[in-house]
Every structure is written in structure tokens, then in C-alpha cells.
Amino acid sequence: MGISLYLSRMLPHNGSDFMANTSSSFTESASVSSLFELDNVRFDVGATTLLDGIDLSISRECVTGLIGHNGSGKTTLMRLLARHHAQGAGAIRFDGKPLAAWKPREFARQVAHLPQYTPSTDGLLVRELVALGRYPWHGSLGVFGDEDHAQVAEAMRVTDVTHYADRQVDSLSGGERQRVWLAMLIAQDSRCLLLDEPTSALDVAHQVEVLDLVRTLCAERGIAAVIVLHDINMAARFCDRIVALRNGKILMQGSPRDIMTGPNLEAIYGVPMTVLRDPASGRAVGIPR
């Protein structure tokens, strides 16, 4: 997938197929405590139900982890939040406003999405990729102004990729590339980051580095993040709240302390799990038996 197609996905269309299935009973609210709210959301592909009866509230300034086995519905849910799927039954709203009511560029200024498989960077330099994060603000024919340059420079600074600015993205290691993609999302200056398995191809050291960076950015900037993760221990370490899916339904949700018990983890993953305490940090750690 080329970078131009990725940009078109940053600005999902707002056509009639998206609007038609949106519940009119889900009215706009002037003041909400949650950033995303989902009410009885269902999503089907043909005769297959991928999500069924999803009721979920995603808080502002909170790091929320989506966990579950393969095929549990995590990526489908993420793509619905990012408006990359036409909404099925039920209702979704962002900041008190039905999701379909947001204009594409307006929504892209609010929500930044990093898909599970990032597109080819086609020989782009790091500074060029990061600058693409400003697309929702100035458009393909707009002028790249002082504010855009400042946002790009700041995004590269906080993600520590400034010294890579003139290198090709493809020349970087996996962990370095993930920081560059995060810099692009930060340059987008949104209020919510949607990250689908951002650590899946990274070693443990780079997983910790990337997730620590996301958590720090959310705390410093007062923004939210929703992260799909396979490693329950990483989710428990870096997320404020964990949502566990199984077979397209929410099995359980709560704080890491609530989720990290042997019976809960066995229910989520289908294998017996032992939960121990890290003697250094006091954090719970799940281990398959």
C-alpha cells in the first residue's frame, strides 16, 4: 500500500453508507466524561459476526489496552473507532457527537490512527514522513506554514528522532521506525491515538521503549490512547484500563489490578495462567502454566 493511500485512510470518506446505519437515537451531548462511547455495536462481514453487542466507554487522558486471542475482534473494533469501516448496527460517538457526523478532515484532526501494517514509505526521509502528519491541517494543496514546521520539529524532538531527519525511513531499525511513525501521529496534533499492535515486530527492549513513549506523551499532552496488544504483561504495565475481547464480545474490562488474576487470564486466553508479583516493582505478571 502506497503512502498516498495511507493518507486517504487518514481522511475516511463520510458517504451515505457510513451515515445510513448510524442510530439517530444516539444524540449529541454537550459535555461527556468519555472520549469514545459505543452502544450495542455490532459489525458483520457477510454471515460472519465480528463484533456483537459492544458497550464501551473510552476515557479521556487514559491509556486503554485492547487484548484477546487472535480473531477476538480487536482490530475490527480499532478500525471502527478510526472510521475505516462503515459502521454497522448500534451507535458510536466521539466527544459527544455521533461518529458519522464528523467531517473527515475535522475527525482526522482529533484522532490519529497507526494501523497494524504500516504502508511502504517509498524512499521518504524521516522529516518528510513526519510532515505528512500535518496533512489534515493544511490539505494536499495547502501551504506548509510556520505552525506546521513547528509541530513537525516538536514531534521529532519528543520522540527523539531529530537526528534521523535526513535518513530514509526504510534504513532505520524496527524500533526506530516505530518512533518515526509515532512522531508523524504526534505532528497530527490529535486528541486520541489509535495504535494497532505497535510493538508486534519489536524485541522486548523496543517494546518497552515504544510503550513508555506513548504513555509519557499521553500524560504530558493530556491525550488518550487506545492500543491493541498481545502481551498481557505489557498491557498491565503501561495501560490504565484493559478491555478483553473474546469471540467479538467484551469478556471483561477494568484496571490492570482487576484483570490480572489467574481465573481472568485463563478466561481470556483459554490456557491456565499463574499470576506472580514482580519483587522489584510489585506489578502482577501472568505466566502460562
Distance CA 139, CA 155 (A): 19
pLDDT band at 196, cuts 50/70/90?
very high
Where helices occur in the chain by DSSP H, the ranges are 3-10, 16-20, 74-81, 104-108, 126-131, 135-138, 146-158, 174-187, 204-221, 232-238, 256-259, 262-269
What the block records as the C-alpha cell of 263 is 481465573
Strands, DSSP E only, in 200-281? 224-228, 241-246, 249-254, 273-277
Dihedral of alpha carbons 6, 72, 14, 130, sign: negative
Q: Percentage of the chain surpassing pLDDT 90? A: 52
pLDDT tens readout for residues 46-79: 888 899 999 999 998 899 999 998 888 999 999 9
In a 10 Å sphere around its CB, with 0-12 CB exposed, 13-18 middle and 19+ buried, how is residue 83 labelled?
buried
- In this prediction, residues 13-26 reach a mean pLDDT of 36
- In this prediction, residues 131-155 reach a mean pLDDT of 84
- In this prediction, residues 166-170 reach a mean pLDDT of 93
Report the predicted TM-score, pTM, of the whole model to 2 decimal places.
Answer: 0.84
Q: Which residues pair with 67 in a beta bridge?
A: 244
| Residue boundaries of the structural domains of the chain | 3-254
pLDDT tens readout for residues 213-269: 999 989 988 899 999 999 999 999 999 999 999 999 999 999 999 999 999 999 999
Distance CA 66, CA 228 (A): 5
For residue 186, pLDDT over 80 is answered with yes
Q: Which residues pair with 49 in a beta bridge?
A: 44
- In this prediction, residues 75-101 reach a mean pLDDT of 88
Contact 268, 68 (CB under 8 A): yes
The CATH classification number of 3-254 equals 3.40.50.300
The CA radius of gyration of the chain, in Å to the nearest whole number, is 19
